[in-house]
Amino acid sequence: MVRYFSIFFIIIFFVQAVPAESRENKKKSPKHITSSGNYFVKKEEKNFSLLMEARRFGRGEVIYLRLTPKDKKWINESYKVSWLGKDVILTKRENSMIAFLPISPDTPAGAMTLEIVSKIFFVKRGQKQYQIILEPTKFQVIKKNQQIKVDEKFVTKELPKEVLDFIQECKNAKELAFSKSSQLQFQKNFKNPLESIYITSKFYVRRDYNNKQGRPHGGVDFRGKTGTPVYAIQDGTVVLAQKTYYEGNFTIIDHGNKIFSFYMHQDEIKVKVGEQVKQGQQIGTVGTTGMSTGPHLHLGAKINGVLVDPLSLIALQSISESN
């Protein structure tokens, strides 16, 4: 059983979003932290219980959601959940429904809204909204005197037509891969992609390349020697495995419910498109292909079209419990 420890210096507010004249009294729900370092919010409603787990409730993070009806026969009823205005893909797991809620690194400050629509849960109104306060997040900014030097071909627009055509082909292949849709393919917690973990660049770091401002870093970089085995962080299906211009040898794995992990700059790719892979299976090796300054693995994650810190997925501890 997971043990919860109260912390007194941070409070998360769950409020019912209804007209002011009929609004219920706001109830403060304390956020709890476990020995793993993650935060949990539990709420007991009349007809269901709600669990939310996250490494933190901030930009670029992932929230794991579990809804458990009080009556087991209700698990087959129709439910709709939306998060920040977008529909959420729910998966039935035993006597609960689970989902993964992404928080964009560009989410504006303020409250985030979770809406649950159910005539079973909310007989009178048919729906209820919860607001979660977004915690402050400051992503690292690399100073100009610490800019990264890369081959000029990666930062200039003056390229031969055949190179520009290849870049467009790579873009089309990536878009096609991320458009894939499948049912949830895993039941366990995520794991690290390398046996030895040493992070060299965090998620959404802002930095310059050759005196030109680059995009925020869309993943996490892990140090590794060329040839070091790279492992799948979760069960899934390979939807892209090829050489690309910027990412080098690039692999994308579909884990279902629009959850993807991707692996860049590999020396070798050891899987093929369409292949079913298991968590911990070797899918490639560390390298320095594409827009890279040295051997490393760039690990990324995308949920429902939103880039998130892959470490926030790996940090989740409640996925296996739902089994």
Asked whether residue 192 is domain-assigned, the answer is yes
Q: What is the pTM of this model?
A: 0.86
Asked whether residue 301 is domain-assigned, the answer is yes
Q: Span 286-296, mean pLDDT?
A: 93
- Could you tell me which residues are beta bridge partners of residue 221? 201, 298
Residues 200, 111 within the same domain:
no
- The confidence band for 11, taking pLDDT boundaries of 50, 70 and 90, is very low
CATH code of the domain containing 305? 2.70.70.10
Q: Span 301-319, mean pLDDT?
A: 97
Residues 177, 310 within the same domain:
yes
Residues 231, 288 within the same domain:
yes
Short-list 227, 300, 301, 299, CA closest to 257 = 301
Q: pLDDT by residue (tens digit) across 251-285?
A: 999 999 999 999 999 999 999 999 999 999 999 99
For tokens 């790719």, what's the residue? 269
pLDDT for 250:
98
Residues 94, 152 within the same domain:
no
Among residues 133, 150, 178, the one where a domain terminates is 133
Q: Based on the structure, what is the number of domains in the chain?
A: 2
**Angle formed at CA 193 by CA 187 and CA 198, multiple of 5 degrees:** 135
| 10 pLDDT higher than 60 | no
Chain centroid to CA 224: 23
- The confidence band for 154, taking pLDDT boundaries of 50, 70 and 90, is low
Asked whether residue 5 is domain-assigned, the answer is no
Torsion 144-150-154-157 (CA) sign: positive
User: How many Å apart are CA 24 and CA 33, to the nearest integer?
Assistant: 27
Chain centroid to CA 136: 18
Residues 167, 287 within the same domain:
yes
Asked whether residue 164 is domain-assigned, the answer is yes
- Could you tell me which residues are beta bridge partners of residue 51? 42, 66
Residues 117, 160 within the same domain:
no
Residues 169, 265 within the same domain:
yes
Asked whether residue 29 is domain-assigned, the answer is no
Asked whether residue 28 is domain-assigned, the answer is no
Q: Span 150-156, mean pLDDT?
A: 65
Task: Please state the three-class secondary structure of 163-194 as a single string.
Answer: HHHHHHHHHHHHHHHHCCCCCCCCCCCCCCCC
Residues 294, 171 within the same domain:
yes
Residues 124, 171 within the same domain:
no
User: How many Å apart are CA 65 and CA 52, to the nearest integer?
Assistant: 5
Q: pLDDT by residue (tens digit) across 40-98?
A: 999 999 999 999 999 999 999 999 999 999 999 999 898 999 999 999 999 999 899 99
Residues 189, 226 within the same domain:
yes
Q: Rounded to 10 degrees, what is the CA torsion of 264, 270, 275, 280? A: -80
Asked whether residue 320 is domain-assigned, the answer is no
Residues 85, 176 within the same domain:
no
Short-list 147, 148, 149, 167, CA closest to 157 = 167
pLDDT for 29:
43
| 205 pLDDT higher than 90 | no
Q: Which residues have C-beta within 8 Å of that of residue 25, sequence separation ≥ 6?
A: none
User: How many Å apart are CA 165 and CA 134, to the nearest integer?
Assistant: 41
CATH code of the domain containing 60? 2.60.40
Task: Please state the three-class secondary structure of 17-55 as a single string.
Answer: CCCHHHCCCCEEEEEEECCCCCEEEEEECCCEEEEEEEC
Residues 294, 169 within the same domain:
yes
Q: Could you give the percent of the chain with pLDDT greater than 90?
A: 69
- The confidence band for 323, taking pLDDT boundaries of 50, 70 and 90, is low
Among residues 78, 100, 133, the one where a domain terminates is 133
Among residues 133, 163, 191, the one where a domain terminates is 133
Q: pLDDT by residue (tens digit) across 222-255?
A: 999 999 999 999 999 999 999 999 999 999 999 9
Asked whether residue 1 is domain-assigned, the answer is no
Structural domain boundaries, residue 262: 141-315
pLDDT higher for 182 or 213?
Answer: 182
User: How many Å apart are CA 264 and CA 224, to the nearest integer?
Assistant: 13
pLDDT for 103:
96
